[in-house]
Amino acid sequence: GDLANLTSIDYTYAGTLSGTLPRGLCNLRKLQKLQFQFTGGLSGTIPDCLGEDQPRLSGIALQDNVLHGTIPESLCLIGDTLVYLILYENDLSGE
């Protein structure tokens, strides 16, 4: 759907959530907080576009999932608005 005004996604402690993070998250230009933490079943990679055109993004919490691959460089493009980036308890690599 058209979620152009969506500012927050929070699936903290939502039980076992399976699947991958969709690339469509990158289209949410007004997104401020993205939280898929403690789901235990979210897998795949972090989209390489996440944070690229999301200047309001202030928090990303993806800990305690089954994510793998490299931490995308696009997260470095967020800038000074990013207050927290929590990625532990995954199988991620990179700087």
Q: 71 with 47: CB under 8 angstroms?
A: no
Token pair 């289209």 in the structure block, residue: 27
Question: How confident is the model over 16-67, as pLDDT tens digits?
Answer: 788 999 999 999 999 999 999 998 789 999 999 999 999 999 999 999 999 9
Is the predicted pLDDT of residue 1 greater than 60, yes or no? Answer: no
Confidence (pTM): 0.91
Q: What are phi and psi of 59, to 5 degrees?
A: -150, 135
